[in-house]
Structure 1
Amino acid sequence: MVAENAEILVRFEEVQKSYDGEVLVVKNLNLDISKGEFLTMLGPSGSGKTTCLMMLAGFETATHGKIILDGESINNVPPHKRDIGMVFQNYALFPHMTVAENLAYPLVVRKMSKADIETRVERALDMVQLGGFAGRRPAQLSGGQAQRVAVARALVFEPKLVLMDEPLGALDKQLREQMQYEIKHIHDNLGVTVVYVTHDQSEALTMSDRVAVFNDGVIQQLAPPDQLYELPENSFVAQFIGENNKLSGKVTGVNGATCTVEVDGSGEVKAVPVNIDGIGSRSSLSLRPERVMVNPSDGVCPNVFDARVEELIYLGDHMRTRVSVCGHDDFIVKVPNSAGHVHLRPGETVKVGWQAEDCRALDA
Structure 2
Amino acid sequence: MSTIVSFKNVQKTYDGETLVVKNLNLEIQEGEFLTMLGPSGSGKTTCLMMLAGFETATHGEILLQGKPINRIPPERRNIGMVFQSYALFPHKSVAENLAFPLKVRKVPKDEIARKVKRALNMVNMEKFANRMPAQLSGGQQQRIAVARALVFEPALVLMDEPLGALDKQLREQMQYEIKQIHEQSGLTVVYVTHDQGEAMTMSDRIAVFNNGIIQQLAPPPVLYENPENAFVARFIGESNELLGTVASVDRERCTVKLESGQNIHAHAGPSVRGTGSASISLRPERVTVGDQAKSCDNVFQGGVKDLIYYGDHLRVVMQVCGRNDFIVKLPNNGDARQLRIGDSVHVGWMAECCSALQ
* Cross-structure match for 1:312: 307
Whether the 8 Å contact between 2:21 and 2:212 is mirrored in structure 1 is yes
Following the alignment from structure 2 to structure 1, what is the Cα–Cα distance between the partners of residues 133 and 293? 63
Q: Which residue of 1 aligns with 2:209?
A: 214
Output the TM-score relative to the length of structure 2: 0.98
Amino acid at match of 1:190: S
Report SS of the residue matched to 2:245.
Answer: strand
User: What CA deviation, in whole Å up to 9, does each residue of 1:17-51 have, x standing for no partner?
Assistant: 01111110000000000110100000000000000
Shift of 1:114: 1.1
Return the letter of the residue paired with 1:168: L
* Among 251, 263, 270, the residue aligned to 1:256: 251
Secondary structure, counterpart of 2:330 in structure 1: strand
* Aligned residue among 61, 65, 79 for 2:56: 61
Identity of aligned residues (%): 65
**Residue aligning to 1:287:** 282
For the Cα contact (< 8 Å) 1:304–1:353, is it kept in 2?
yes
Distance in 2 between the 1:342 and 1:141 partners?
Answer: 46
Counterpart in the other structure of 1:102: 97
Deviation at 1:113, TM superposition (A): 1.1
| Match in the other structure for 2:26 | 31
Structure 2 unmatched runs, 5+ = none
Quickly say closer, same or farther: Cα 1:344–1:60, change in 2 above 3 A.
same
1:172 to 167, 171, 179: 167
The Cα of 1:337 is off from its aligned counterpart by: 1.3
Q: Say yes or no: does 1:44 pair with 2:39.
A: yes
Q: How does 1:112-131 map to 2 (within 5 A)?
A: 112-131=107-126
Question: Does the alignment pair 1:329 with 2:344?
Answer: no
SS of equivalent to 1:132: helix
- Partners of 1:175 and 1:344 lie apart in 2 by 36
Q: Is the 8 A contact 2:158 2:191 kept in 1?
A: yes
Whole-Å separation in 1 of the counterparts to 2:77 and 2:312: 47
Match among 273, 276, 287 for residue 272 of structure 2: 276
SS of equivalent to 2:338: coil
Match of 2:222 among 218, 221, 227: 227
Deviation per CA, 1:46-75: give whole Å up to 9, x if none: 000000000000000000000000010001
Aligned-partner Cα distance in 2 for 1:276–1:68 = 35
User: Distance between the aligned counterparts of 2:57 and 2:241, measured in 1?
Assistant: 37
1:74 equivalent to 2:80? Answer: no
* Alpha-carbon distance in 1 for matches of 2:157, 2:257: 49
Distance in 2 separating the partners of 1:82 and 1:332:
48
SS at match of 2:292: coil
Give the distance between the partners of 2:356 and 2:101, measured in 1 at CA: 51
Aligned match of 1:302: 297
Following superposition, the deviation at residue 342 of structure 1 comes to: 5.6
1:142 to 137, 143, 151: 137
Deviates more, 1:190-199 or 1:113-122: 113-122
Q: Structure 1 length as normaliser, TM-score?
A: 0.96
Deviation at 1:122, TM superposition (A): 0.9
Partner of 2:146, secondary structure, is helix
Query: Is 1:89 aligned to 2:84, yes or no?
Result: yes
1:299–1:319 distance in 2 versus 1, CA, 3 Å = closer
Partner of 1:188: 183
How far 1:276 moved relative to its partner?
2.6
Check the 8 A contact 2:308/2:314 in 1, yes or no.
yes
What residue identity is the alignment partner of 1:317?
A: D
Shift of 1:298: 6.9
Shift, 1:300, TM fit: 1.9
- Shift, 1:353, TM fit: 0.2
How well do the aligned residues superpose, as a CA RMSD in angstroms? Answer: 1.1
Q: Deviation per CA, 1:160-187, whole angstroms, max 9, x where unpaired? A: 0000000000000100000000000000
State the 4+ residue runs in structure 1 displaced beyond 6 angstroms. none
Unaligned ranges ≥5, structure 1 = 1-5
Tell me the number of residue pairs that the alignment of Structure 1 and Structure 2 aligns.
Answer: 357
Q: SS of the counterpart of 1:297?
A: helix
* Alpha-carbon distance, 1:227 to partner: 0.5
Q: Which amino acid aligns with 1:147?
A: Q
Given residue 33 of structure 1, which amino acid in structure 2 is its aligned partner?
I
Distance 2:216 2:293 in 1: 37
Q: CA deviation at 1:339?
A: 4.8
Residue 247 of structure 2 aligns with an amino acid whose one-letter code is T
* Alpha-carbon distance in structure 1 between the residues aligned to 2:102 and 2:194: 32
